[in-house]
Chains A and B, each alone.
Chain A
Amino acid sequence: MTIKSLHKRESDLAQSKNQLEILSNGIFRNGDLPKFKDKIAETNQFPLKAKPLEILQINVGYMCNQVCKHCHVDAGPDRKEIMTRETMQQCLDVIKNTGAHTLDLTGGAPEMNPNFRWFVEEASKIGVKDFIVRSNLTIIRANKKYHDLPEFFKKHKVHVVSSMPHWTRGKTDKQRGDGVFDSSIKALQELNAVGYGMPGSDLKLDLVYNPSGAFLPGDQASMEKDFKKALLEDFNIHFHNLFAITNLPISRFLEYLIASENYEDYMYNLVEAYNPAAVANVMCTNTLSVSWDGYLYDCDFNQMLELPVNSNVKHISEYNEDLLEGREIVISQHCYGCTAGAGSSCQGSVA
Chain B
Amino acid sequence: MQKTYYDPADLKKFGNISDWNEELGAKFFDYYSKVFEEGALTAREKSLIALAVAHTIQCPYCIDAYTGDGLQRGITKEEMMEALHVAGAIRGGASLVHGVQMMNKVNKLDM
Residue numbers of A with Cβ under 8 A of B are 166-168, 170-171, 209, 211, 213, 215-218, 222-223, 226-227, 272
Once the chains are docked, how many angstroms separate the CA of A176 from the CA of B12? 32
Chain B residues in 8 Å Cβ range of A215: 68, 71-72
Contact residues, B40-57 vs A (CB, 8 A): 43-44
Instruction: Given A222-B44, A226-B44, A272-B12, answer yes or no on A171-B72 (Cβ-Cβ < 8 Å).
Output: no
* B76 adjacent to A222 (CB under 8 Å): no
Q: How far is the CB of B53 from chain A (nearest CB, A)?
A: 20
When the two chains form their complex, are residues B74 and A218 in contact, meaning their CB atoms are under 8 A apart? yes
Q: Which residues of B contact A171 (CB under 8 A)?
A: 76
Cβ–Cβ contact B71 & A170, under 8 A? no
CA distance A226 to B71 in the complex (A): 13
Closest to B8 in A: A265
Determine if A217 and B72 form an interchain contact, defined as CB atoms under 8 angstroms apart.
Answer: yes
What B residues does A213 contact at CB under 8 A? 71
Closest-by-CB residue of A relative to B43 is: A222
Write out, one digit per residue, whether chain B residues 11-27 have a CB within 8 A of any chain A CB (1) or not (0).
Answer: 01000000000000000
**Beta-carbon nearest neighbor of B72 in chain A:** A218
Residues of B within 8 A of A (CB): 12, 43-44, 68, 71-74, 76
In whole angstroms, what is the CA distance A171 to B74 when docked?
A: 9
CA A239 to CA B35, docked complex, whole Å? 32
- The winner among A215, A216, A227 for most chain B CB atoms within 10 A is A215
B59 CB to closest chain A CB (Å) equals 19
Cβ of B76: which chain A residues have Cβ within 8 Å of it?
A: 166, 168, 170-171
Asked if residues A211 and B44 are in contact (CB atoms below 8 Å), the reply is: no
Cα distance A272–B44 in the bound complex, in angstroms: 22
Q: Is A222 a contact of B71 with CB atoms below 8 Å?
A: no
Please name all residues of chain A whose beta carbon is closer than 8 Å to the beta carbon of B12 when the two chains form the complex: 272
The complex places the Cα of A216 from the Cα of B12 at a distance, in Å, of 16
Q: How far is the CB of B28 from chain A (nearest CB, A)?
A: 21
What are 20 contact pairs spanning A and B, CB under 8 A?
A166-B74, A167-B74, A168-B76, A209-B74, A213-B71, A215-B68, A215-B71, A215-B72, A216-B72, A217-B72, A218-B73, A218-B74, A222-B43, A222-B44, A222-B73, A223-B74, A226-B44, A226-B73, A226-B74, A227-B74
Q: Nearest Cβ distance between residue B29 and chain A, in whole angstroms?
A: 16
Specify which chain A residues have a CB less than 8 angstroms from the CB of B72 in the assembled complex.
211, 215-218
Q: Which residues of B contact A168 (CB under 8 A)?
A: 76
Smallest beta-carbon distance B110→chain A, Å: 53
CB of A314 to closest CB in B, whole Å: 39
What residues of chain B lie closer than 8 Å to A170, measured between beta carbons?
76
